[in-house]
Every structure is written in C-alpha cells, then in structure tokens.
Amino acid sequence: MAARACITGGAGFLGSHLCDRLLAEGFEVVCIDNLLTGTPQNVSHLLDHPRFTFVRGDVTKPLWVEGPVDYVLHFGSPASPKDYVRYPIHTLKVGALGTHHTLGLAKAKGAGYLLASSSEVYGDPQISPQPETYWGHVNPVGVRSVYDEAKRFGEALATAYYHTHGLAVRIARIFNTYGPRMRADDGRAVPTFIGQALAGEPLTVYGTGLQTRSLCYVTDTVDGLFRLLVSPDAADDSPASFPVNLGSVDEITMRDLAELIIRITRSRSRISYEPLPPDDPKVRRPDISRAARLLGWAPRVSLADGLAMTIDYFRQGLAAGAR
C-alpha cells in the first residue's frame, strides 16, 4: 500500500512542489491549506490525481485526519516578510498551535514528522556560514520575531515530542528558496525583481544592496526535504535529534541579484535604492555539511538556470497575485 502523507501548507510555494514530489514517489497525499497565502492554482493540476486529496482547513485549530497516516509534514505558515508582517498573530499561531496540532496528529497515528523550520531561526547572524550548532541572533520583539520565534518554538516543541514520545521528528532549516509558483506579490526579492524587470520598472533594492542571501532552486530544496523525510535514524547522529540546514551555498548580494535579473531578462530597468526594512539580516549562507553527510544531498541547479526557469514562469503570466 502507498505510504500516506499529510502536508499542511500544501497549496503554498514549497508545499505544492512537495506534493508533486510525494506523488511522484508513489505516496498518497492529503494536502491541507487554509489558502491564506497559498493559492488553489498551485495544486489545480493535482485535483484529479487518484492519490491526491485537498482539504481546506486551518491548523491553528485542532485537526483530525481519518485513516492511516505515515508522515506529517508541517509547512503551513505565511513565509515571506511581507506576508508575516501582514498576518503577525496568525503566523505565531500556525507556528505554535499549528505545530502542536500536527505533532499531536503524528503521535496519534505513529507517523514520522517533518517540520519546515527556517534560516530565520539564526536571525541576523553574527557568524557566517551558519552551521546548525549556531544558536542565532534574533530580536524577540522585532518585526520578524513573529516568524522567527514561531519557528524557534516549533523546533523546541518538535524536539520535546522526540524526547518525550519518541516521535520520529525531522527538522529542516530551509534557507531562501525560489522558483515557479512564488506569488508575484509575496514581496520577496526574486519575484519582485523579476516582475519589475519584465515590466520595465525600477528594481527596488533595499538599503545598500550589499546584504547577501544564498538562493536555492525549489527542486533542489524539495529533494533535500524528501531525503530528510525518509531518512533512517542513526543511533549516535540522528537526524531526528538535530535540525538540518537545506540551502544553496552560492551567496550573492541583492545588488548583484538585481543586476543579474536585469541581464537575463534583457530589461531596460534600472535599480532604485529604497530604505532597508528593520532587522533585515546582513548575511545568510548555510553550512550544508550535515545534509551532505546524512542525506548525501547538495543543490545542483545553478542560479542562472534556476532564474531562467523562474523568469519563464513569470513571463508566461502564470504567477498568482497582482504585483
């Protein structure tokens, strides 16, 4: 019988790509989403799939799923700074209550559990690259705290379920990921710059543009997530007891990213420098040696190729959300 996975946030950017991957691996998929920031369009191609079910539901409320469940993946949350600043309380609730409810479901079903955590647990890091052993540098009352602290709480709760109930917990610290199905209006650098470049408008680089991110193409991130989900426990070095960074190690400044997107799109747009939002991390680059060692994983898609595929998606007018 096919393994059965329940994924929250399954109609989101990452979640919908994970649904695709799980179905391709022969899983049965129950996709749960309240469509706050996700969009039905992301899973519309799956609605007739015999192993796919869509449930509109809000996991800040207790949830129950009939029948066997082998894996629970908690990916529901507003995830872009613009989205979580717009929905601060819901972001905290889905990271805290939603994690509690989905852990409870996994415990009741004896299922494996994968938590979508984030590089945001490192805050504005004081060391670079960031290994999983770094505790982070987070402003607990800053604008990003609703997301950062929710993810940190989620990690603590998942770890407590591992220690207390022996739940097979996996924690992925996901770094910046981009690709098709990002919303045009989610406010992140990649979709914003692409939209602006294609429209011939100025690219809004915040601050000096010298802040860096490491951008991973979505299929690479999803490959790491899938490997982590099905990874076995190792006695002394268990993925269950440690978070695993997943992301690209190719660090780029936001100014260089804007220039690259202008070049690839052959746009006539220029760059306009806008104020830097508060608490914007200055650097971000994962140490991915743990993922390499435990999962045999490394990203494969170059930034140029990944951006070309993403630009193609935006050019075709497929992205949801008005800019």
Report residue 192 CA to chain centroid gap.
Answer: 17
Binding of ligand UDP at residue 16 (CB under 6 A)? no
| Mask for 165-194, x = binds ligand UDP (CB under 6 A) | -----------x----------xxx--x--
Binding of ligand UDP at residue 201 (CB under 6 A)? no
Binding of ligand UDP at residue 218 (CB under 6 A)? no
Among the listed residues 147, 162, 178, 217, the single catalytic one is 147
Closest distance of CB 57 from ligand UDP, Å: 26
Binding of ligand UDP at residue 248 (CB under 6 A)? no
User: What tokens appear for 316 in the block?
Assistant: 């075709």
Give φ, ψ of 114 to 5 degrees. Answer: -120, 120
Binding of ligand UDP at residue 254 (CB under 6 A)? yes
Binding of ligand UDP at residue 81 (CB under 6 A)? yes
Among 39, 130, 177, 211, binds ligand UDP (CB under 6 A): 211
Other Cβ atoms closer than 10 A to 105: 22
For the question of residue 122 being annotated catalytic, the response is no
User: What tokens appear for 2 in the block?
Assistant: 């096919």
Closest distance of CB 280 from ligand UDP, Å: 4
Binding to ligand UDP in span 293-322, by CB under 6 A: none
Pairing of strands 251-253, 212-214: antiparallel
Binding of ligand UDP at residue 242 (CB under 6 A)? no
| Tokens 């608490």, located at residue | 279
Nearest to 121 by CA among 87, 167, 86, 159: 159
DSSP letter for each residue of 19-88: HHHHHHTT-EEEEEE--SS--GGGGGGGTT-TTEEEEE--TTS-----S--SEEEE--S--SHHHHHHSH
Closest distance of CB 102 from ligand UDP, Å: 23
**Residue 94 to residues 26, 66, 97, 115, 239, Cα–Cα distance (Å):** 28, 21, 6, 12, 24
| Mask for 259-298, x = binds ligand UDP (CB under 6 A) | ------------------x--x------------------
Residues of this chain that bind ligand UDP (CB under 6 A): 80-81, 176, 187-189, 192, 204-206, 211, 213, 254, 277, 280
